[in-house]
Structure formats: C-alpha cells, structure tokens
Amino acid sequence: MVGNEAGRAGRVRILFQPCGRRGWVPEGVTVLEAARLLGVGIEAACSGCQTCGKCKVKIIEGLVEREEILSSAAHCLAPSEGELECLSPAEISSGYRLACASVVAGELAVFVPEESEALAQVVRKEPRATALEIDSAVECVLATIPAQANAEEALRERLGRARVSEGGDPGAWYFHDSALRELSGKLGSEAAQASFVLAEGAEVIRVDLPSQGRRRTLGLAVDLGTTTVVGLLCDLQSGDLLAHHSMMNPQIQFGEDVLARISFAAGASPGRGEPSSDNRVLLAQAARNALNTLLRETCRAAGCHPSEVVEVTVVGNATMLHLAIGLDPTPIGRTPYQPVVTGPLSIYADLLGLEMLSCGLVHFLPLRAGYVGADTIAGILACDLEDRPGVTLFVDVGTNGEIVLGTPSGLLAAACATGPAFEGAHISAGMRAAQGAIERVRIDPESWEVKIKVIGESGWGAGEVRPRGICGSGIIDAVAEMYRCGILAKTGSFTKERRHPRLVGSGAERSFVLVDEARSATGQAIAVTAKDVRVVQVGKAALYAGAKLLMERAGVGRVDRILLAGAFGSYIDPLSALRIGMLPDCPVEDVVAVGNAAGEGARRALLDRKARERARRLRDELGYVELTLEDGFTRAFAEAMHLPHMSERFERFEESVSRLAWGRQAGAGENRVARQAKCRARGG
Amino acid sequence: MTASEREKRLRALADSVVQMDEERAVKESELALEEGIPAYEAISEGLVVGMNEAGKLFEEEEYFVPELLLCSDAMYAGLEVLRPHLPESGEGSEFRLVVGVVEGDTHDIGKNLVKIMVEAGGFEVYDLGNNVPVDRFIETACEVGAHIIALSTMMTTTMDQMPALIGRLRERGLRERFKVLIGGGPISMAYAARIGADGYAPNAARAVKVAKSLLAPLPPAERGAA
C-alpha cells in the first residue's frame, strides 16, 4: 500500500471527501471514530448503534491520485447483519456503508454525502446578562483561625472558635467532612487567616488558606432543556458572567420529546429491544454527563478549574428535572400529569457525580405542575412578571409551549400541546435551526416570488449557503406569507384560483415550492405541503386557544404586551406570529423577544437568594389551568385553527402594521432595531 | 313530488352540511318533512351524504378540523329537526361502537371527530369521554352489545393501554366478540399489527371506513346480536 510507511505501523491513511480532511488513524477504529479523530462531522443519531442509518458514507474505489491513496471497499471489514439492514441493495452495491459499523483495515477514501454530514445546531439560546443585585446563597466569609489550643483540640473545634468578618457563629456552623479533610495537614498550629465558603448561611463547604493561592467561588446556572442544554458560568461574588456553553441534550438518543423519554424511562422502548429497568439510569447518566460537559467547557473557556464551582442551579421542565435527579417521571406522562416532587431540591454534587466541588450543592428550582416546570418559573423570575403593570402574556415556545398571563391580580399558567412543529419537526422539509435551515421567508404578493434567508448566510438571499430544509421560524414565516399572498385561504387550504409554477401537486399532495431542486443543498425541492400547513395550524391554535382561555379566566379582554421566550421565541418574526393568529391581538411593537428567559432565571437564582424565595412562592401561588379539562376547549382550539382565527379580529395588530408601513417609508427597516433597543431597555 | 324534486331536496340537505350552514340545514330539514320525504331518508340520503362528503374533503386536505366541526354542527341541527319524525321502531342502529380516550390521557379532540364521523356513518355511538379505564370500555361494550371498541390516545406514554385492553379481552374470553379499532397521534399501522388490534385509522374520516370494513365479513345473523 502506498501510504504504509515505516514508523506508522498499525496506522493507515484516510481521506474524507468532499471536505478533503485527511490523516493517519489507527487500524481497527470505525470510520465514524476516524472521522471524529480528524474533526469531520458525520451524523450519528443513534450514537453508533447501527440502527438509525444516518451515517451512510461511500467508500471510494481506486486510487485517489493527488492524495496517493489507494482506496478499496476491501479495506473495510465486511459489513455485519445490522449494518446491511440499514442499507438498500442499491446502496450496498454502490459501496455505501455505515460509518459507525465499518472498521478501518487499510487505506481509505471516504465520501460523506450531504445528508450524512453532521451540522452543529445553531443553539439559539444566547445569554442576555442583566445587572443584578448579588446576594448569593454561597458567600465567602473572612475568618481568623486561632492557634491550636492544645495538642488534643480537634480541627472542627478550633475552626468553631474562629472570628469571622461578618456576623455569624462558626461554632454553630456545620463544617462539611470534605472541607475538613482537604484542610487537615495544611493548617499549621499557629493562628491563620482564612476564607470560609459558607453555603445557605449554615454549612462551610470549603476553607481557603492564603497558601492555596486565589481560589474563586463560581457558580453554574443551567437550563436543562429537552433539546438544548445551556450553562452560564458566573462569579458568585461579582456576579460576572464568565463563560457560557450550549449543547444538544444527549438524552435525545433515547427519545426526541418529553413523552418519548418518559416512555423510555418506564422501560417501554418500542424498537429498542427488550425493556430494561436501567433505562432511568441511562437517562440520569446522560443528563449528568451533560452537566459535566457544561462544567468542563465553561471552566475551560474562563480559564478556571471545575473544582472552583461551588454551586449549581438547574431549571428545566418537570420531566428533565425528574430524569436528572433520578426520579420516576411516569406520573407526568398521564393525567393528572403530576410530578413526583415539586421541589425545590438541593443535592450534594458528589451524589450526582458532578465534577465540581464535591460538597457543593446542586439546586433544582421548584415546579408548578407536570407541564409548568422550573423553566417557566425561571422565566417569570427573569421577566419580573409579578411586578409588571397591566396585562403581560409570557410565551415560552420550545418543544412544548408554556404560557403565563400576568395581571395585577396574579399570575395564571397553562401548558399548550403545540407539538414539535415550531422546532421544525413533523414538517416535511423540517429541520432544526442549523446551518442551511431557511429561517426567514418573504413572498411577493403579486408574482409569488420567494425570498429566503438561510442560517449561515450573511444576509437575505446572499447565497453562500445552500438551503437544506426549513426550521421553526421559517415555517411560521412561510405560512404567514402564503396566507398574506392568498396562496392559502383562511381555512389553511391551498387556493384554486390561480395556477403558478410554484404550486405543485394536487389534493392532499399539494405544495408550494420555496426552493427548487437546482438550488437546494439536497437536490430535492424544499416545499411547504398541505400537511405542513395543518401541523402549523394545530400548533398555533393550541397556543392561541390556551392564551385566550387564560385571559377569559383572568377576566381581561386584551394584553398590553407579549414576551416571547425560548430558543424559538427569540427568532420568530412577531409579525408572522400575529399574522397567522398564534398570539392574541397585540400591536406588533409590543411583542418582544426576551431571549433564554429560563437560563436567565437560573442565573438569578444562582446569584440572588431572593429569587429562590420568589420561585418557592410561585410554586404555591402561580395559578394553573389544565386546558384539556376545560369545557369548550375543543371548540376554542378548532376555531383558532383558522388563519388567523375563525371569528376574532386582530384590530390592534392590523393598525400597528399600517403604522409600521408608514414608518418604513420614512426610515426603512429601522423599526426592528428600535424595537430591540426598546426591549433591551425594558429587560434591563 | 317528482324524483328529481326529491333528489334536489336531498342534495340541498347534503349541501347545507358540506357548506357548514347550520340555519340552512334546519330549514331544509323542515322543508323535506313538509314535502313528505321520510325523516329516515332525509337523514341517510341527505345529511349523512353531506357529512361523508365533508370527510372526503378532510382526507384531501381541503377541509380541516374546524370545517369538520362546523359541518357536524349543521348535521346535528338538521338531525334535531328530523329525529322526532323517525318511526318508533325502538331499534337503534344495527352497528354499535364504543369510543373513548384511554386511561391517562385527556386529549379528546381526535376522539370527538371520530365520534362525529362514525355517527354519520350509521353507527350507534357510545362515547365514554377521556381517561377511560380498560374495564370501563369492556363493561360498556358488553352492556350495549357493541361490535367495535375504538380507542384513541395522543400520548406515547399511554399507548400501552391499547395492548392492555386487548389482553384483558383475551383474559375474559371476549376477544372474539369485539373488534378493536385504534388511532391517535403516536399510533401507526405497524403498532396496531404488533399489538394485535383489528384496525387502525390515521384520521376520523378513515375511522368510519375502517369500522365498516371490520364488520363487513360478519354474517348477517350475527349482526344485531347483543
């Protein structure tokens, strides 16, 4: 073989196309492992279990001249049965293999087809740090440790005699074993200055001596989402945001949504072989791995050590928190959808296997109900919903939709089964918000020409990135524009009054082509089908009907403002959301994105104990309405499926749109900027 | 009244349903009675025809949930006028179906649509609502002499109630007595096959077709048997 030079024994050359990465890898690794070694992204949804078939690659036959690589299918060990099941006969005969199953036994050139390329999801949960009053549950107390009284005096007693800077009686504090263990041997018999890291005003979890150098007291605020997990690393004394990191929730491999994970946890795992009582352990482990990754990555970025992290706050929906803690989530999966524990809960880090200060606490914020979780409560904290004048509707659209209506007389919450449409799932060309996803759509009302904005592109139609699918904000835009331009009727059905090259198929197969085969990255047209429109109609109606029902309950006829939280809420165009009737009538400029409110709420709870107190109060005082049990919900839901609604008018929205149109003639496009500035001012 | 006049009147009844016109359905039903069309025919050849056409439009993605509900409003408004004029046979429909959402689940919009379509399809429907325990389905089915038990769920977490019901029927030696029809968000044909259900319907319009096909091979003698 050409490349098998001396000194490279047991290693072979491998080339990946079309990216052109190449390098030496040990014989015996899989192609997927080789790809990872060389930094080539290959999709592997099942994590190498040979079940998902997403990691198809093609082994190139023959000599790749410029690279001097002689590649052959024979340089991979023969495929297993599991692998063959994932491939069609045509694929097998043309040299396709699963990257996770093919073992490298010689020189290879591997072609990674477009559909197998792993794309880093654009994690749309950027932190928006606002200035806070710092009153962390963990404080650093300066202490003077007296000299050892006599040889018999135990360390614990001696520490209890310390004089401390700010009130408090060290004699009454609990000194955690691991803090004592770390200190013993380091502390001489003479008097010493030290800093006690005191948790909840009662427990010393670390004792810092000047000899140990500067050790920081850091905290990590975590939003443990069903799809995305975000960590914010903060300095507990200054409150500074030092680093943040986002990643996909590794539990996705066990089920895409909350219900699938509950089923998996219960051992029912259709298509995954025999049920296992260990499934809950697997899920808990995955959640904890994610927390550890967040700890590692944020600390790496901030140049500090994970052991300097002394506290973690975690928010998430009820199921995510149950799974992370190791509680049985089954009751959340059936009426009355009750969590086992509503919390709040504080658990020592070492019990959860977290790589931080072992006796630091992991604080899980409380839940209100099975589908109104700590993430919703955190969102309320972040937006100060209790204190806002007038009527505010808070909408968190993620994998599920949670809404909270804030009025001067209190808060009311509900969960809406919006389905996964807003995350791009169950849409024929749907995808997550990743490179190549269409995120914005505009259609010309006369010509029906389509303008798109693709994630990764510098601007509208810039064309550097070929579109490969459509994400949540894109599908909302598309449906809103199709309705505005008369392509869709009020009922959501396609118009029959006009023929157009973009309008293809008939009956249930009708669809509107956004991007033709020639311009898409996949070689297949990207279109909005009749079914896609229905999925959006159902999702938006669930949200709208829920909001209206809460308004009815609270006795308010209109909302003064709408806060859109969550990954999707930040990117959705309020104009489109209002146009299709996803939100109750409201002037478009009063619909504002508040970013990752759940993460921000977790940060507040990390830095300010009063926020935790508020969270506890919200657990008890937040009103909750179970929509599916409400009389007349079916009807309200169905009526809201029309675009924008069967009977309701959106006068304040319409009026604001015409006002905006006037403004646009004066200063084009600046409204959005102004709106964002206004929103920042309000948020901070 | 000529055949074509009768035809026209029945067509108008059907149209009032397809066009979701509740007032017109009432008016046309009254007219039909005045003109001597038997109530039974006005229902089965007028209103029900309209509802079935609505179901077809639903399958073609032309109509959606709101339209189907409005059509059913019109159908029920017409039925209210016509029903008092049905002959007192004491005999209900020859087909009886028990429908409900399985225990643990409270999402019942899909089930409500199935009920409407199946009722329009000539079944006598016993709607048990949502969050219905397995044994209640079976007891009701036995009591009313149902032919079909139709189960719905929207959640993967409560799907297991479906095989549970089938298992319970077997245990009680009743499996052969009822056909089990299933549907709902997470349900598929493959799932139905795996758990040994008799039929699966992806939507309400199809549910009525599948329900009828399940009973088709039944010998006439067994049909009304309770």
Q: How far is CA A308 from CA A220, A295, A303, A358, A391, in A?
A: 10, 10, 11, 10, 42
Contacts of B67 in chain A (CB under 8 A): 491
Cis peptide before A644, with omega less than 30 degrees from 0?
yes
Q: Output the pLDDT for position A663.
A: 64
Q: Output the pLDDT for position A86.
A: 81
Q: How far is CA A327 from CA A319, A323, A333, A352, in A?
A: 9, 6, 13, 12
Rounded to a whole number, what is the distance in Å from the CA of B74 to chain A's nearest CA?
Answer: 15
Contact B147, B198 (CB under 8 A): no
**Residue-by-residue DSSP string for A224-287:** E-SSEEEEEEEETTT--EEEEEEEE-GGGGG-SSHHHHHHHHTT--TTSSS--TTHHHHHHHHH
Contacts of B66 in chain A (CB under 8 A): 491, 638-639, 641-642, 646
Contact residues of A toward B, CB < 8 A? 259-260, 262-263, 266, 268, 270, 330, 333-335, 417, 491-493, 507-508, 510, 530-531, 534, 537-538, 626, 628-629, 634-635, 637-639, 641-642, 646
What are the two backbone dihedrals, phi and then psi, of residue A97, each rounded to the nearest 5 degrees? -140, 165
Percent of chain A with pLDDT over 70: 88
Q: At A32, is the pLDDT very low, low, confident or very high (cuts 50, 70, 90)?
A: confident
Res. B10: pLDDT tops 50: yes
Instruction: Classify residue A581 as left (phi > 0), alpha (psi -120 to 50) or beta.
Output: left
Whether the CB of B66 is below 8 Å from some CB of chain A: the reply is yes
Whether the CA torsion B204, B205, B206, B212 is positive or negative: it is: positive
Quote ipTM for the complex. Answer: 0.89
* A503-504 and A450-454 strand pairing: unpaired
**Host H or E run for residue A56:** strand A56-59
Whether the CB of B190 is below 8 Å from some CB of chain A: the reply is no
Res. A120: pLDDT tops 60: no
Cis peptide before A344, with omega less than 30 degrees from 0?
yes
- Given an 8 Å threshold on Cβ–Cβ distance, is B59 in contact with A508? yes
Task: Give the pLDDT mean for A552-558.
Answer: 96
Contacts of A537 in chain B (CB under 8 A): 64
Contacts of B65 in chain A (CB under 8 A): 538, 638, 641
Q: Please state, in angstroms and rounded to a whole number, the distance separating the CA atoms of residues A301 and A142.
A: 29
Q: Please state, in angstroms and rounded to a whole number, the distance separating the CA atoms of residues B17 and A183.
A: 83
> The tokens 């009750």 sit on which residue?
A338
- Given an 8 Å threshold on Cβ–Cβ distance, is B106 in contact with A629? yes
**Residue-by-residue DSSP string for A279-311:** HHHHHHHHHHHHHHHHHHHHHHHHT--GGGEEE
Q: Output the pLDDT for position B222.
A: 47
| Nearest residue in chain A measured CA to CA from B102 | A334
Nearest to B61 among A266, A534, A638 (CB): A534
- Given an 8 Å threshold on Cβ–Cβ distance, is A628 in contact with B62? no
Whether the CB of B65 is below 8 Å from some CB of chain A: the reply is yes
The amino acid sitting at A241 is L
Judged by DSSP in three states, A386 sits in: helix
Q: Is A444 exposed, middle or buried (0-12, 13-18, 19+ CB in 10 A)?
A: exposed
Whether the CB of B156 is below 8 Å from some CB of chain A: the reply is yes
| Nearest residue in chain A measured CA to CA from B160 | A268
Nearest to A628 among B107, B158, B160 (CB): B107
Q: Output the pLDDT for position A271.
A: 42
Structure confidence by residue, pLDDT tens digits, B191-201: 999 999 999 99
A231 bridge partner residues: A222, A245
Structure confidence by residue, pLDDT tens digits, B138-167: 999 999 999 999 999 999 899 999 999 999
- Given an 8 Å threshold on Cβ–Cβ distance, is B63 in contact with A491? yes
Contacts of B154 in chain A (CB under 8 A): 417
Whether the CB of B152 is below 8 Å from some CB of chain A: the reply is no
Structure confidence by residue, pLDDT tens digits, A567-588: 778 889 999 999 999 999 999 9
pTM: 0.81
Q: Please state, in angstroms and rounded to a whole number, the distance separating the CA atoms of residues B133 and B186.
A: 19
- Given an 8 Å threshold on Cβ–Cβ distance, is B156 in contact with A266? no
A142: which residues sit within 8 A by CB, 6+ positions away?
Answer: A164, A165, A166, A193, A194, A195, A196
Neighbours of B76 (CB within 10 A): 18
Nearest to B66 among A266, A530, A641 (CB): A641
* Rounded (5°) CA angle B85-B87-B93: 105
**Residue-by-residue DSSP string for A519-564:** GSSSSS-EEEEHHHHHHHHHHHHHHHHHHHHHHHHHT-S--SEEEE
Q: Output the pLDDT for position A51.
A: 67
A330: which residues sit within 8 A by CB, 6+ positions away?
Answer: A262, A265, A266, B157
- Given an 8 Å threshold on Cβ–Cβ distance, is B158 in contact with A637? no
Task: Give the pLDDT mean for A133-154.
Answer: 91
pLDDT higher for A71 or B74? B74
What are the two backbone dihedrals, phi and then psi, of residue B52, each rounded to the nearest 5 degrees? -65, -35
Contact B143, B111 (CB under 8 A): no
Q: Output the pLDDT for position A680.
A: 46
Rounded to a whole number, what is the distance in Å from the CA of B147 to chain A's nearest CA?
Answer: 28
Q: What is the DSSP letter of B157?
A: G
Judged by DSSP in three states, B50 sits in: helix
Neighbours of B35 (CB within 10 A): 12
Rounded to a whole number, what is the distance in Å from the CA of B221 to chain A's nearest CA?
Answer: 40
Task: Give the pLDDT mean for A110-120.
Answer: 70
Q: Is B38 exposed, middle or buried (0-12, 13-18, 19+ CB in 10 A)?
A: middle
- Given an 8 Å threshold on Cβ–Cβ distance, is A335 in contact with B65? no
Q: What is the DSSP letter of A11?
A: E
> The tokens 């010493």 sit on which residue?
A192
- Given an 8 Å threshold on Cβ–Cβ distance, is B107 in contact with A417? yes
Range scoring the smallest mean pLDDT among A48-57, A333-342, A427-436: A48-57
Rounded to a whole number, what is the distance in Å from the CA of A288 to chain B's nearest CA?
Answer: 24
- Given an 8 Å threshold on Cβ–Cβ distance, is A333 in contact with B158? yes
Preferred mutation among A634, A637, A643, A646 to probe B, highest tally of B CBs within 10 A: A634
Range scoring the smallest mean pLDDT among A10-14, A165-169, A375-379: A165-169
A226: which residues sit within 8 A by CB, 6+ positions away?
Answer: A249, A251, A257, A258, A261, A317, A319, A320, A398, A399, A400
Range scoring the smallest mean pLDDT among A262-276, A465-479, A519-533, A611-625: A262-276
Contact A558, A630 (CB under 8 A): no
Neighbours of A535 (CB within 10 A): 21
**Residue-by-residue DSSP string for A203-218:** EEEEEE-GGG-----E
Whether the CB of B62 is below 8 Å from some CB of chain A: the reply is yes
| Nearest residue in chain A measured CA to CA from B58 | A508
- Given an 8 Å threshold on Cβ–Cβ distance, is A335 in contact with B131? yes
Nearest to A508 among B61, B107, B186 (CB): B61
Q: Output the pLDDT for position A194.
A: 93
Whether the CB of B108 is below 8 Å from some CB of chain A: the reply is yes
- Give chain A's mean pLDDT: 87
Neighbours of A156 (CB within 10 A): 12
Q: Which of A360, A362, A315, A369 is nearest to A341 (CA)?
A: A369
- Given an 8 Å threshold on Cβ–Cβ distance, is A531 in contact with B61? yes
Question: For chain B, how big is the Rg over CA atoms in Å?
Answer: 18
Whether the CB of B112 is below 8 Å from some CB of chain A: the reply is yes
Helices (H), A40-144: 81-85, 89-93
Res. A559: pLDDT tops 70: yes
